[in-house]
């Protein structure tokens, strides 16, 4: 069973041995391994049971280091990196051959991010290599936001989880790339579109792919609990399920139609950022209940609300 602790040097030793570990970031916990070691990368795919056509994000701790892994950084990409790194933003850049094709799933671009978490940055600063790190959960399931989530799900397959407390953003990074037609967001996430557009102008959004995704996290069905998740109101399914067999994920208030113990509220004050932080933990809590179905409604489509709704739609996708 994985040991959970805060020893950066122990984490470093495991990574240098080609092992994979649980890594805290401000978005969600990652399953991290040496991005330049194909065997370690293969271990990431194996532990997650992740398809090899779904590319990984490479984490480092400075733009200077990122430049050693990519052919060049376009001007608008550099502007975003200088403004928002460290932070919940991943940028697709043309990769050098030092990055194994397994990391990028054969694509000519690699996803690069500098996470905004003190333990992650401390670890990255003492390593001689970047870390490939998708979310530390079985493929397709709810992403982890605490070290305990990682240990409970993958602890029997990895030696160590670096415990950095609860993730402060709570949903994955926004992924942006650049084409001749301009900037494109391939995954909605912890960096709001408004902030990106304030730096680089109008941004297109193309965040879904049923196969052969161009960036991590684009598959249509993802982030799902084990129990069915429906985008419904309570009144719409009470003819099918008894109230005590229904779980409810709501934005800011309870419903009187369902037992209170079967409900999770994302933010009683209606704060979108708080809702994003609580999303995955709330879904996990509902998934542990003795119920038959989870229902939810979309949140306001502003700021991080777009990313929350993206996760809910994919979790409900069938």
Question: How confident is the model over 104-133, as pLDDT tens digits?
Answer: 989 999 999 999 999 999 999 999 999 999
Residue 307 domain boundaries: 229-316
* Same-domain pairing of 249 and 133: no
* Same-domain pairing of 20 and 142: yes
Considering the domain boundaries, does residue 200 fall inside one? Answer: no
Q: What is the pLDDT of residues 140-193, one digit of tens each?
A: 899 999 999 999 999 999 999 999 999 999 999 999 999 887 899 999 999 999
The pTM of the full predicted model, rounded to 2 decimals, is 0.91
Considering the domain boundaries, does residue 278 fall inside one? Answer: yes
Question: Tell me, what CATH number does 271's domain have?
Answer: 3.40.50.11030
* Same-domain pairing of 258 and 133: no
* Same-domain pairing of 247 and 162: no
* pLDDT score for 221: 59
**Residue at which a domain ends, from 103, 136, 170:** 170
Considering the domain boundaries, does residue 214 fall inside one? Answer: no
* Same-domain pairing of 238 and 311: yes
Considering the domain boundaries, does residue 96 fall inside one? Answer: yes
* Same-domain pairing of 248 and 132: no
Q: What is the pLDDT of residues 205-214, one digit of tens each?
A: 986 655 456 6
Q: What is the pLDDT of residues 4-29, one digit of tens each?
A: 999 999 999 999 999 999 999 999 99
Question: Tell me, what CATH number does 27's domain have?
Answer: 3.90.870.10
* Same-domain pairing of 245 and 104: no
* Same-domain pairing of 30 and 162: yes
* Same-domain pairing of 16 and 164: yes
* Same-domain pairing of 11 and 101: yes
CA Rg value for the chain: 19
How many domains would you assign to the chain? Answer: 2
Considering the domain boundaries, does residue 23 fall inside one? Answer: yes
The share of the chain scoring above pLDDT 90, in percent, equals 87
* Same-domain pairing of 68 and 152: yes
What's the whole-number mean pLDDT along residues 219-248? 89
* Same-domain pairing of 155 and 276: no
| Residue 53 binned pLDDT confidence (cut-offs 50, 70, 90) | confident
What sign does the CA torsion over 110, 117, 129, 156 have? negative
């Amino acid at each position: 069973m994985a040991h959970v602790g805060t020893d950066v040097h122990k984490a470093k030793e495991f990574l240098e041995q080609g092992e994979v570990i649980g890594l805290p970031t401000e978005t969600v916990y990652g399953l991290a391994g040496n991005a330049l070691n194909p065997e370690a990368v293969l271990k990431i795919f194996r532990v997650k049971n992740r398809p090899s056509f779904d590319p990984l994000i490479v984490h480092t701790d400075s733009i200077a280091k990122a430049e050693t892994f990519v052919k060049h950084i376009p001007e608008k990409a550099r502007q975003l990196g200088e403004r928002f790194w460290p932070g919940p933003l991943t940028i697709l850049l043309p990769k050098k051959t030092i990055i194994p094709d397994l990391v990028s799933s054969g694509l000519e671009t690699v996803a690069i991010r500098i996470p905004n978490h003190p333990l992650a940055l401390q670890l990255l600063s003492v390593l001689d290599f970047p870390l490939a790190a998708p979310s530390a959960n079985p493929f397709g399931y709810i992403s982890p936001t605490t070290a305990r989530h990682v240990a409970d799900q993958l602890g029997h397959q990895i030696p160590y989880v670096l415990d950095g407390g609860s993730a402060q953003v709570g949903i994955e990074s926004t992924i942006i790339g650049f084409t001749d037609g301009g900037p494109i967001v391939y995954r909605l996430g912890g960096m709001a579109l408004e902030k990106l557009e304030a730096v680089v102008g109008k941004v297109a959004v193309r965040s879904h792919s049923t196969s052969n995704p161009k960036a991590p996290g684009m598959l249509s069905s993802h982030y799902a609990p084990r129990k069915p998740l429906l985008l419904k109101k309570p009144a719409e399914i009470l003819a099918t399920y008894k109230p005590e067999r229904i779980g409810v994920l709501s934005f800011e208030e309870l419903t009187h139609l369902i037992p209170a113990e079967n409900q999770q509220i994302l933010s009683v004050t209606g704060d979108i950022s708080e809702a994003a932080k609580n999303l995955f933990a709330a879904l996990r809590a509902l998934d542990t209940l003795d119920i038959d179905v989870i229902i939810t409604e979309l949140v306001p489509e502003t700021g991080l609300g777009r990313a929350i709704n993206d996760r809910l739609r994919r979790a409900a996708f069938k």
